[in-house]
Chain A
Amino acid sequence: MNATPSSSDFILQVEHLSMKFGGLIAIGDLSFQARRGEITALIGPNGAGKTTVFNCITGFYKPSEGMITLNRKDGSSYLLERLPNHEIPARAKVARTFQNIRLFSGMTLLENLLVAQHNKLMKASGYTFLGLFGFSSYRQASAESIELAKHWLEKANLVDRADDPAGDLPYGAQRRLEIARAMCTGPELLCLDEPAAGLNPKESAALNELLNDIKDNTGTSILLIEHDMSVVMQISDHVVVLEYGRKISDGSPQSVRTDPRVIAAYLGVDDEEVETVLTEVGDEAVIEQLDTGPDSAHGPGSSASMMAGPVSDSVEHADQGERVTVSRGASKAAQVDARARAAVASKPVKPVAAAKPASPAPAKPTGRSPTPKPRGGRK
């Protein structure tokens, strides 16, 4: 465990994480850190591998390579890729929610929150035996757990419906309940998979409030996947951007927002649009260089070589339907890279300040020039 003094600021350190499904690479050599007490957002276009990262962190997948270290407040560190699935919430104190809400729909709200306190109650009930004979220690623990559940129901503004079945709640309330349930496990890191999906602006604002409240009052760090940029930009302290399983940007919300690689990844870049993008960042010299590279019949041999072939990101045992097939040269960020490199070749000043090379893959000779011009990128 590399619990160096500096690393204790980080609650989560992901190092060289790769996830391969057969020959498909869903995450390729991803490294990032999440700071304690902050909200870290993981964003990226559909199929970028965000949920796969979550599944690796929370133990639903065992990563093919890499290390995921979780540093708890008390100084202990856990290598999450080595813990069994259910011990990650129990011992490493990582809780998560799901993209498609997974509540216990036939149980009441209160029961949902009590199930979340399973391990604590299990100990209090003497692994069932003391509880079966009605020992008072269990009764006390049971009352405490109901108090905690009530606390979180109040936070989630659901206390009036505590005795209703969870399946009866409207969508937005179900999202809040799922967060409340995750918080009842007493986590140090809360992983939220698209908490704002399907919420209206008002519910979205309430969610922001809830998440800020969690961050400020419980000391729980939050890692969230989100498509709703209003949520991401307002509440997150740190943003990591993925595209096709690779990190293309990493920084504060402001720096990420203006990163041309991110813009390219999100908007899709046509050959003409690349010019616009780069123009917007203020590098006119790039434009002149753009079309000078010789055409390559085989696409961008340098940029997406490791990603060649389809990549599938199957979430929750492929029942989610979020599946992506990458054709050669699909990565928009890589195209921006390629163009930027072409620009660098002619001009020694680095044109795009925020854009660091996402993954210094060995297959990508950085000094190669002129870079072949990519063709056939998808929109």
Chain B
Amino acid sequence: MAVTVSPESDTVATPIQRAFREALYAGAVSLGLFVLFIGLRTDQNISNELILVQRWGLLALVVILTAVGRFLYVGFGQPALERAKAQKAAAPAVAAEPSFVRRNFNKIGIAVLFLYPIAMVLLFGFQGSLKWVDNFGIQILIYVMLAWGLNIVIGLAGLLDLGYVAFYAVGAYAYALLGTHFGLSFWILLPAAGCMAAFWGVMLGFPVLRLRGDYLAIVTLAFGEIIRLVLINWREVTNGSAGISGIPKVSFFGLISFNVSDPNYISKVLGIAQSGAYYKIFLYYLILLLCLLTAFVTIRLRRLPVGRAWEALREDEIACRSLGINTTTTKLTAFATGAMFGGFAGSFFAARQGFVSPESFVFLESAIILAIVVLGGMGSLGGIAVAAAVMIGGTEILRELDFLKTGLRWGDTTLIPGFGPDFTPELYRMLLFGVAMVVVMLWKPRGFVGSREPTAFLKERRAVSGSFTKEGHG
């Protein structure tokens, strides 16, 4: 083989020999591991007796896959990696001109997001685009907005908030209650919900100001649970765990409605055929604009003294105080601003679902939002958006993987057997979520985008490596 250039590999054996040996070992280990897990399966037969189902074919497949994988990795993967490393070390460090896509990543991303529903409608028709616009587009963008809001608290100010979903809940219930009882419009209630969430952000902020690190995390976690329990138990107002339904739809500033019965229903105004897709596409652009608002405000705030003070607070609180920065109000503004965007997202969520219940605001949601922020790279908007797309889009895509049930077929012959019709891949999403987090954290400990963009520069703007920034300590 031509791959024997690495200095280590020819000391003992050629990589292929070694790979062959290691593949045998790996096969043996996986056989030992999986013989009972996969080879035998207990089941009930028709007369309710326990029987053993033998799956030697599947076992053989797994063992062979393991062995082949090990063979390929040791035989070809490792030498290739070593060669790449050696090449990198040999070549002088030349700052490569970033490619066109990389330089204009944000503009291209925004353009793609604006064209996305149109492309989906063209590809799948109005009815077919529903799934792509709603389940993927809107769902991901809600999480992008939530994660960008949380990014202000965690990524910029360095305050670990595990109860962020509480502000999401406050926003959702603010819209649900005020909208159903008083019939106020979404456009009034959106800022109102934001203000209310910000108010609760300050309410949470006051008692926890003196706490740092783990203690802060625990108290915010408790705060999130308190809000949820209040929503469950305050039945007279929140209708308990049954939730609130019949939340009014958003209208286009009162000019165009999306209720079929209204006189100004969109298809009547524009003279087009009725479809539920118009509302979803409208909601998509609405949440997209809300996301862009969040991004705009975050970028602006970072260049203002308050944003710099947040980042300085993350770096060193004592130094901040020695420079005359009021850390109390700085922390409170971070909590309030983050909570406000959570409230916006919450009221949008209520409008989109038409139904809210405490079920939607469990701790897991906070954990997912936090995971997105950490995976994306704390403080980086682009990285967080990518992480949200991967995480939320990835779990949604699991629902689409029908071939896992049926198996891979070529005509009438089954190439690889599936897991059967009762296999539901979406149940594995938390497993995949965890695996993905471990992999990303090993590969990029600071998230997808670990570096930090400076907010001001004298000569040239150079990204600050993640190894210098601190995560904050509370």
Contact = CB atoms under 8 A, between A and B. Distances in A.
A1 interface: no
Interface in A89-142: 89-90, 95-96, 98, 102-108, 110-111, 114-119, 121-122, 125, 128, 131-132, 134, 138, 142
A224 to B, nearest CB: 15
A153 to B, nearest CB: 8
A86 B456 contact: no
Interface string B203-217: 000000000000000
A181 B323 contact: yes
A105 B301 contact: no
Interface in B433-474: 452, 454-462, 464-465, 467-470
Contacts of A142: 456
Nearest to B457: A163
Q: Taking each of A86, A134, A153, A181, which has the highest tally of chain B beta carbons within 10 Å of its own beta carbon?
A: A86
Q: Taking each of A118, A153, A185, which has the highest tally of chain B beta carbons within 10 Å of its own beta carbon?
A: A118
A162 interface: yes
B304 interface: yes
A213 interface: no
B325 interface: yes
A131 B333 CA distance: 15
Nearest to A166: B468
Q: Report the interface size class on chain B.
A: 35 or more
Nearest to A125: B304
Nearest to B306: A128
Given A86-B325, A98-B322, A115 B457 contact: no
A117 B470 CA distance: 21
A232 to B, nearest CB: 23
B332 to A, nearest CB: 13
Given A60-B322, A105-B316, A132-B304, 10 more contacts: A59-B321, A86-B320, A95-B322, A104-B312, A104-B316, A107-B315, A153-B458, A162-B458, A162-B459, A163-B458
Nearest to A124: B305
Contact of B468 (A134, A168, A181, A316): A168
A107 B457 contact: no
Interface of B: 297, 300-301, 304-306, 308-309, 311-312, 314-316, 318-327, 333, 452, 454-462, 464-465, 467-470
A87 interface: yes
Contacts of B465: 165
A146 interface: yes
Given A106-B452, A163-B459, A98 B305 contact: no
Contacts of B320: 86, 115
30 contacts: A59-B321, A60-B318, A85-B321, A86-B325, A88-B324, A89-B322, A95-B322, A98-B318, A98-B319, A98-B322, A104-B319, A105-B470, A106-B311, A106-B315, A106-B468, A107-B308, A107-B311, A107-B464, A111-B456, A115-B312, A115-B325, A119-B325, A122-B306, A131-B305, A132-B297, A150-B458, A153-B458, A165-B464, A182-B322, A185-B323
